[in-house]
Chains A and B, each alone.
Chain A
Amino acid sequence: MDVISEFFSEYDGLQAFRTTIYLTLLSAVFALLIGTVVAVMRVSPVRVLQVIGTAYVNIVRNTPLTLVIVFCNLGLFLQLGVALANKDSNTFINDNNFRLAVLGLSVYHASFVAEAIRSGVNTVPLGQAEAARAIGLPFLKTLRYVVLPQAFRGAIAPLGNVLIALTKNSTVASVIGVTEASAVMKVMIENRPDVLFIVFGIFALGFVILTLPVGVLFTSMSKRLAVKR
């Protein structure tokens, strides 16, 4: 079982999974922010905003994530010179790739977050918004105080699905050289083809450990936090 000790010592597999977790959490926060804005645009009364929001969701959802991430590196950085880290620091390439990956993952998953929140808005009964309007709240206040708080609670299950998908999708960041779990697995497989199954088993298990509790947590949260009607 020396391959397991190699995983910890030589390849620093824990560090790889830590990078996976950082990628996931940072992207989740940005995706939630962008996604909420897009969802609000899509339900807003202003036609132009609706069109922009819908276009965003339709375009991003139909583009492969691999293309989005590759575009961030080859397109944004190498061709257009958009750098997200300090060029003088000696960890520039690592930092920049990591941040570009976060950018790509956030932009991509924001479209799914927007759809999840919109489905949450659909769970709020009509009477709630009608009552808010009846007491004179304008559109934004209706959303902020009455509809969105209930919508988020109704959207917890699909948001959990997005978070789990995001965890697994963060592996695509390896394509632009972020050393997260899948990148390290690739190196280990190349160096130790004799223990292929064990190496795959370790990394697969890592993802099962990362994703299964999130699924259970979000399912129980969606039941506990659902607005009782």
Chain B
Amino acid sequence: MSSSSVLFDAPGPRAKRLYAAVGVGSIVVLLLVLWFVISKLNDKGQLTAAKWKPFLTGEIWTQYLLPGLAGTLIAAAISVVLAMLVGILLGVGRLSAQAWIRLPCSVIVEFFRAVPVLLMMLFLFALYAKYEVFPPERLALAAVVTALMLYNGAVVAELVRSGVYSLPKGQGEAAMAIGLTGGKTMRLVLLPQAITAMLPAIVGQLVVILKDTALGYIITYEELLRKAEQIGNYASNLLPALIVVGAIFVIVNYLLSLAAQRVESAMRRRGRSAGGPLTADPTDQNAVGAFAGPGPSDSVGTT
């Protein structure tokens, strides 16, 4: 409320009446919209007990929803670990003093941020199938994980870079002064602090990765959305299934964003890192992710 409250004065009696009127009016509009949606759903027979009851049975959960959630979470978990590894390597590579390391890393990072994740997934799926890199039942998972690893690795690389830039210059200078080499300065002094500063952004990036696993639907990976479709075929209640799966996504991702805020505020209190905690660029939280991830200027302390 810090910035918005300055846009208007503390309301007087007349403004209070006006605000109340607008408030009531918008509630009425909202209710009308809800009523319209519900009556439309009702007309099409989407609100009958038969359509919604399956979600109260254990079978739908054990056969569809929980395996789907497991598929989504497994792909997200593997992707985030691999993306961290790739991202740290590429990020350090981009900061290297040697041009022959720095330039390829820059090209790789820029390329994987510019190409849609879905394009990567389709390509990798075909590639793995053609050269039989993975057993057939693992093809889709492998393509999902690799594509997410490459895209999010590029995002993490940019986070590493901005994390190192956000550190006070004295940190690197002091490390050099006691005789550490460039590599050791990075490994022992700069990187640990940068990674600490990155933590909130990494947790925030988990939301992006989790949402992106839904792209696996397109290459037949058995995740939540695919399971929703199967529930729809099995119990002929596609619309309720989509709504339930959407709600699961929203709840899980909302909890993750809360966790990111927690980590951030905890770090602010502790003040462990010399640089402030980085927050994820809000625009970066897209299904397929944003292109220009947090640069050094726009990600540091956007809150």
Q: Which residues of A contact B229 (CB under 8 A)?
A: 74
Q: In this complex, which of A122, A164, A212 has the most chain B Cβ atoms within 10 angstroms of its Cβ?
A: A164
Does B115 lie within 8 Å of A172, measured CB to CB? no
User: Contact size class for A?
Assistant: 35 or more
Q: Which B residue's beta carbon lies closest to that of A210?
A: B114
Given contacts A63-B211, A116-B282, contact A168 B292 (CB under 8 A): no
B135-188 at interface with A (beta carbon < 8 Å): none
Is residue A135 within 8 Å, beta carbon to beta carbon, of the partner chain?
no
Does A133 lie within 8 Å of B285, measured CB to CB? no
Q: How far is the CA of A122 from the CA of B302 in the complex (A)?
A: 10
Is residue A119 within 8 Å, beta carbon to beta carbon, of the partner chain?
yes
Q: How far is the CA of A58 from the CA of B281 in the complex (A)?
A: 15
Q: How many of chain B's residues have a CB under 8 angstroms from any CB in A?
A: 66
Q: Which residues of B contact A215 (CB under 8 A)?
A: 291-292
Q: Which residues of B contact A165 (CB under 8 A)?
A: 283-284, 286, 288-291
B111-127 at interface with A (beta carbon < 8 Å): 111, 114-119, 122-123, 126-127
One of A1-9, A10-18, A90-98, A196-204 contacting the partner: A196-204
Does A208 lie within 8 Å of B288, measured CB to CB? no
Residues of chain A whose beta carbon lies under 8 Å from any beta carbon of chain B = 42-49, 52, 58-59, 61-67, 70-71, 74-75, 78-81, 108-109, 112, 115-116, 119, 121-122, 124, 126, 129-130, 133, 139, 142-143, 147, 157-158, 160-162, 164-165, 167-169, 171-172, 174-175, 181-182, 185-186, 189-190, 193, 196, 200, 203-204, 207-208, 211-212, 215
8 sampled A-B residue pairs with Cβ under 8 A: A65-B211, A66-B218, A70-B225, A119-B302, A165-B283, A168-B117, A181-B119, A200-B123
